[in-house]
């Protein structure tokens, strides 16, 4: 099932041909809350999806509306956190040597080791919104890069989740961009600017993805291929990321896990158009704009 959030945060099921969706909001066992701050209904849906699936599937046989007639939102709502994997593709770790020499004055060994860090959930935007390059890093001549990543959305939460049970905690998958200011300083700050986490175009439930480690990721900038890789090349696979992250912090329903940048990261500039595709999920397209320079930081 492809779950979409649209318009005033209604719930849709996307048709198999990906041209339309059916509004299934009224099939939920609670009243619709159009306030995106009131994300409790979405968290409950993530947690209890297995019990709700049948009634959503039945409602999805209703009248479709063209995707062109709705505004797609990010297919997550106020996650408690975005957990992001670092240094999770060997070829990306290799390319980062040159990137760090150029943008951070050298390579710190700990940056080249697999780990997880947090991004601010307020950096999330939907699949039809623009990435805004913040004024201060632009003015300072910093490079701002795209990282196209498979994103995991947690269903049932938990802590100390063992690897062999981890995929049972996955609600589904979506496409993520982990926009990043290169340079020195904490990753969480450099990756948490507003608009730095586009997600979309919808969430594909785990039952429709036979193997999340056999998905092709493809990103173009202005039509030129930058990233063209397969998720089989992840160093630490999704169960390992979930087990490690949940050994540190409780994973809550609706939390987002970015699985790490594949090779081919590179700079974006105002006016660029990013198109990201993951086979079996869909595609999304971002324009890149510069923030108005207010003189204020960021
Ligand atoms: Mn990343």
If you measure from the C-alpha of residue 214 to the centroid of ligand 1, how many angstroms do you get, rounded to a whole number? 19
Which pLDDT score, from 0 to 100, does residue 292 have?
80
CATH of domain 82-294: 3.90.850.10
pLDDT for 30-63, tens place per residue?
999 999 998 999 999 999 999 999 999 999 999 9
If you measure from the C-alpha of residue 237 to the centroid of ligand 1, how many angstroms do you get, rounded to a whole number? 15
Confidence band of 295 (pLDDT split at 50, 70, 90): low
pLDDT for 255-283, tens place per residue?
999 999 999 999 999 999 999 999 999 99
If you measure from the C-alpha of residue 103 to the centroid of ligand 1, how many angstroms do you get, rounded to a whole number? 16
Confidence band of 116 (pLDDT split at 50, 70, 90): very high
Of 246, 73, 281, 54, nearest to 168 (Cα)?
Answer: 246
Which pLDDT score, from 0 to 100, does residue 294 have?
54
Q: Evaluate if residue 129 carries a pLDDT over 80.
A: yes
Mean pLDDT calculated for residue range 204-223 = 98
If you measure from the C-alpha of residue 119 to the centroid of ligand 1, how many angstroms do you get, rounded to a whole number? 10
How much is the mean pLDDT over the chain?
Answer: 96
If you measure from the C-alpha of residue 210 to the centroid of ligand 1, how many angstroms do you get, rounded to a whole number? 24
If you measure from the C-alpha of residue 112 to the centroid of ligand 1, how many angstroms do you get, rounded to a whole number? 12
If you measure from the C-alpha of residue 238 to the centroid of ligand 1, how many angstroms do you get, rounded to a whole number? 14
pLDDT for 71-115, tens place per residue?
999 999 999 999 999 999 999 999 999 999 999 999 999 999 999
- Where do the structural domains in the chain lie, given as residue ranges? 2-69, 82-294
What is the model's pTM?
0.96
Tell me how far CA of residue 201 lies from CA of 86, 127, 165, in angstroms.
Answer: 23, 5, 27
């Amino acid at each position: 099932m492809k779950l979409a959030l649209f318009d005033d945060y209604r719930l849709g099921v996307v048709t198999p041909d990906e041209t339309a969706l059916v509004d299934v909001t009224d099939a939920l066992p609670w009243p619709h809350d159009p306030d995106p701050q009131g994300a409790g209904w979405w968290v409950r849906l993530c947690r209890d999806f297995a019990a709700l699936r049948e009634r959503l599937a039945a409602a999805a046989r209703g009248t479709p509306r063209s995707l062109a007639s709705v505004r797609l939102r990010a297919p997550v709502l106020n996650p408690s956190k975005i957990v992001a994997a670092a240094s999770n593709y060997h070829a990306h770790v290799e390319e980062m040597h040159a990137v760090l020499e150029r943008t951070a004055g050298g390579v710190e060994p700990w940056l080249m080791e697999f780990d997880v860090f947090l991004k601010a959930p307020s950096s999330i935007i939907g699949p039809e919104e623009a990435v805004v390059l913040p004024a201060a890093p632009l003015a300072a001549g910093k490079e701002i890069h795209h990282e196209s990543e498979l994103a995991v959305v947690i269903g049932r939460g938990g802590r100390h989740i063992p690897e062999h049970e981890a995929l049972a905690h996955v609600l589904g998958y979506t496409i993520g961009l982990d926009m990043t200011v290169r340079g020195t300083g904490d990753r969480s700050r450099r990756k948490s600017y507003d608009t730095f986490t586009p997600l979309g175009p919808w969430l594909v439930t785990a039952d429709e993805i036979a193997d999340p480690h056999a998905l092709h990721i493809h990103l173009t900038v202005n039509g030129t291929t930058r990233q063209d890789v397969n998720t089989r090349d992840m160093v630490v696979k999704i169960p390992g990321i979930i087990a490690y992250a949940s050994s540190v912090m409780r994973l809550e329903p609706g939390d987002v896990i970015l699985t790490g940048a594949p090779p081919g990261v590179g700079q974006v500039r105002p006016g660029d158009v990013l198109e990201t595709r993951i086979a079996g999920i869909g595609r999304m397209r971002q324009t890149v704009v510069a923030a108005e320079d207010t003189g204020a930081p960021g």
